[in-house]
Structure 1
Amino acid sequence: MLEIKNLTKKFDNRTIIDNLSMTVNDNEIMAIVGPSGAGKTTLLRCITGLETVNQGQFFWNGQQFDPANTDQKDTIIGVVFQDYQLFPNLTVMGNITLAPTMVKKLPLDQVKASARHLLSRLGLEGKEDLYPFQLSGGQKQRVAIVRALAMNPKILCYDEPTSALDPALRDEVAEIILDLKKQQMTQIVVTHDMDFAQNVADEIKRVAQLS
């Protein structure tokens, strides 16, 4: 279970998130829904350690942790970015294996075996040697999900996972998220798409401004 207590985030004199507390239960999907400028992506960046917070504490199963601490032995939070952020000069396999081998120092053969299993699960078998420019938008999205899963996170976060996808691919992403839930992955989805949120989420947090 992820607990966030009294989170405040400011940019200069502007308060973006004001004393926010929330809980995400194990094996559940929380959708954070709201308009642009409400602070959804800022919250996600705080949870994933990409932004430092002015105030607040994070707990995983009762143990306090710092999302910004990259030296942690176990990866608690994984993230799938809105624009995927795949490295254009690396193949699919290269994108997936880079962080586990460099950050976690795992053996390359072990990481590749895990990556092939994940790629097969997400319908990307045979795409290992392709480069991002050779992939469709939906395929890039799935590679980004595999890359995040390769770090074996406890929680997987998504920033606007359907923003650049047509309706058919949006349904495909929903199926992937729900399938990961069946495999007991706790997930947080930041989206402006209420219909998508209602299709996948166990709990929806509607925000105008996060507080």
Structure 2
Amino acid sequence: MLEIKGLTKKFGSKTVINDFSMTVADNEIMAIVGPSGAGKTTLLRCITGLERVNAGAFYWNGKQFDPVNPDKNDTIIGVVFQDYQLFPNLTVMGNITLAPTLVKKLGADEVEKTATALLERLGLGGKENLYPYQLSGGQKQRVAIVRALAMNPKILCYDEPTSALDPALRDEVAQIILDLKKQKMTQIVVTHDMDFAKNVADEIQQVEQIQ
């Protein structure tokens, strides 16, 4: 279970998130919804350690952790970025295996075996040697999901996963998220798309509650 207690985030004199608390139960999907510019992406960046908070604490199963300085051997938070942030000079396999080999110091054979299995699971078998420019938007997103899963996180976070996708691909992403839930993956989805949130989430956190 993820617990966030008393989170406050300021940019200069502006308070974006004020004394916010949230609990995400194991194996559940939490959607954080609201319009663009309301602070929900900032919240996700705090949860994933991309922004340092001014106050507050994070707990995983009752044990406090720091998202900014995570334990490299015990990945709690994984993130799928809105623009995917794949390295254009690396193949699909290279994008997926880079962090596990550099950060976790895992062996190349082990990492590639895991990556191949994940690619097959998400319908990307045979795409290992392609470069990002050779992939569709939906394929890039699935590669980004595989890259996050390859670090074996306890929680997977998504920043606006449907923002650049047509309706058919939106349904595909929803199915991927629901399939991962069946595999006991706890997930947090930041989105402005209330219909999408209702389709996938066990609980919805309105953005007005973090202001």
* TM-score, normalisation: structure 1: 0.99
Shift of 1:134: 0.1
Do residues 15 (structure 1) and 15 (structure 2) align?
yes
Residue in 2 that maps onto 1:192: 192
Shift of 1:131: 0.1
What is the one-letter code of the residue matched to 1:118? L
Shift of 1:73: 2.1
Shift of 1:70: 3.9
**Which 5+ residue runs of structure 1 have no aligned equivalent?**
none
The DSSP-based 3-state class of the residue aligned with 2:51 is: coil
Inter-partner Cα distance in structure 1 for 2:28 and 2:84: 23
Q: Is the 8 A contact 1:16 1:209 kept in 2?
A: no
Inter-partner Cα distance in structure 1 for 2:42 and 2:78: 15
Do residues 61 (structure 1) and 93 (structure 2) align?
no
Residue in 1 that maps onto 2:202: 202
Shift of 1:36: 1.0
1:167-205: CA deviation from partner (whole Å, max 9, x where unpaired): 000000000000000000000000000000000000001
Q: Is the 8 A contact 1:32 1:205 kept in 2?
A: yes
Shift of 1:209: 5.9
Q: Is the 8 A contact 1:38 1:209 kept in 2?
A: no
1:144-163 equivalent positions in 2, closer than 5 A? 144-163=144-163
Inter-partner Cα distance in structure 2 for 1:161 and 1:26: 21
1:51-86: CA deviation from partner (whole Å, max 9, x where unpaired): 000000000000000001144420000000000000
The DSSP-based 3-state class of the residue aligned with 2:117 is: helix
**Which 5+ residue runs of structure 2 have no aligned equivalent?**
none
Shift of 1:147: 0.1
Q: Is the 8 A contact 2:72 2:103 kept in 1?
A: no
Inter-partner Cα distance in structure 2 for 1:182 and 1:114: 19
Residue in 2 that maps onto 1:181: 181
1:130-166: CA deviation from partner (whole Å, max 9, x where unpaired): 0000000000000000000000000000000000000
Shift of 1:8: 0.1
Detail structure 1 runs of 4+ shifted over 4 Å in the superposition.
Answer: none
Inter-partner Cα distance in structure 2 for 1:74 and 1:208: 33
Inter-partner Cα distance in structure 1 for 2:160 and 2:209: 17
* TM-score, normalisation: structure 2: 0.99
The DSSP-based 3-state class of the residue aligned with 1:23 is: strand
Q: Which moved more, 1:66-75 or 1:43-52?
A: 66-75
Give the CA RMSD over aligned residues.
Answer: 0.8
The DSSP-based 3-state class of the residue aligned with 1:208 is: helix
1:1-150 equivalent positions in 2, closer than 5 A? 1-150=1-150
Inter-partner Cα distance in structure 2 for 1:172 and 1:112: 25
